[in-house]
Structure 1
Amino acid sequence: MPYATQQDMIDRFGSPRLQQLTDIEEPLLGAIRPAVIAAKLADADAEIDGYLIGRYELPLAAWPAILKVHACSICWYRLLGSSADEPARRDYEDALAYLVKVARGDVVVVAPSAAPPVSGAGAVLFDAGSKVFGRES
């Protein structure tokens, strides 16, 4: 299952810009070419899986939403190609930095619904105690 979909890309970057980047072959369709976005999303998934494969059994049954964000950033950077601007490059580098942390084990990739319960020290109890100094003493 892909980490992000074409609709995620549309929601994040808008249809006009995606059409501009994907509808580049003759005959022009005047619309987004789903095959182009699907190929770039598959590339992003492969790149993400390359970092996850040493730590997790793939494909993941569930994952945190941040993987969708990073998949979109990687796909966007790949769609822009040589015309990638500074924000796109920075988002791509941030995605890679996150994935490196996952590969090192500094960050755990777990869907919120699958997160283990947090063990705590129990309930907090406050005891004000008695006065040591006052008007009486």
Structure 2
Amino acid sequence: MSYATVADLVAEFGEREIRDLTDRADPPAGEIDATVANRAIVRAETTVNGYLAGRYTLPVPAEAVRGYVLDLARGYLYVSVMNDTVKARYDAAMKDLVSIGKGLMALPVAPATVPMPTPAASGMVVRTRPRTFGES
């Protein structure tokens, strides 16, 4: 499942910016290079999933993380220095993802449920004997 598309990048940041960031042909083709944009999206989705894994069942609903994916993908498209606005949004997304990964912040989705192993399932059995009064 994809959290974002090239169309989402264009809707969020404008056709001109995405074209300028993805059109790496020499000479420039004057079009959005979907391959370059999709590569940045996949990288951003992988980053997001890395922070969510273990806390949420993947994939999560796209609307819960689309903004993070778009801000990261936009940052990944820059081959030189990001401007202050792009860097601030990228850094904010990463800060939120770190907080989510640490459990300090939560997405508006159900957390992952990991079944606890039962003694029979784990193969481990602990036997104790009652303590005798006065024993150390």
- Shorter-chain TM-score tier: 0.7 to 0.9
> What amino acid is aligned across from residue 25 of structure 2 in structure 1?
E
What is the CA distance between 1:77 and its match in structure 2?
0.7
> Where do 5+ consecutive residues of structure 2 fail to align?
112-136
> What amino acid is aligned across from residue 59 of structure 2 in structure 1?
P
Given the alignment of the two structures, is residue 102 of structure 1 paired with residue 100 of structure 2, yes or no?
yes
Partner in structure 2 of residue 49 of structure 1:
49
Partner in structure 2 of residue 127 of structure 1:
none
> What amino acid is aligned across from residue 104 of structure 1 in structure 2?
K
Counterpart CA distance in 1 for 2:90 and 2:54 is 21
SS at structure 2 position matched to 1:83 = coil
Given the alignment of the two structures, is residue 17 of structure 1 paired with residue 17 of structure 2, yes or no?
yes
CA RMSD of aligned residues (A): 1.9
Partner in structure 2 of residue 71 of structure 1:
69
Counterpart CA distance in 2 for 1:19 and 1:87 is 18
Deviation per residue, 1:9-48 (Å, 9 max, x gap): 1011111121111111246432101011000000000100
**Could you tell me which of 83, 86, 98 is aligned with 1:88?**
86
Counterpart CA distance in 2 for 1:83 and 1:9 is 19
> What amino acid is aligned across from residue 68 of structure 2 in structure 1?
H
1:119-134 → structure 2 map (5 Å cutoff)? none
Counterpart CA distance in 2 for 1:85 and 1:95 is 16
Counterpart CA distance in 1 for 2:32 and 2:44 is 18
> What amino acid is aligned across from residue 55 of structure 1 in structure 2?
R
Deviation per residue, 1:99-122 (Å, 9 max, x gap): 1111111222234xx79xxxxxxx
Counterpart CA distance in 2 for 1:31 and 1:107 is 39
TM-score by length of 2: 0.73
Residues 6 and 59 of structure 1, relative CA distance in 2, 3 Å threshold: same
Number of equivalences: 111
SS at structure 1 position matched to 2:80 = helix
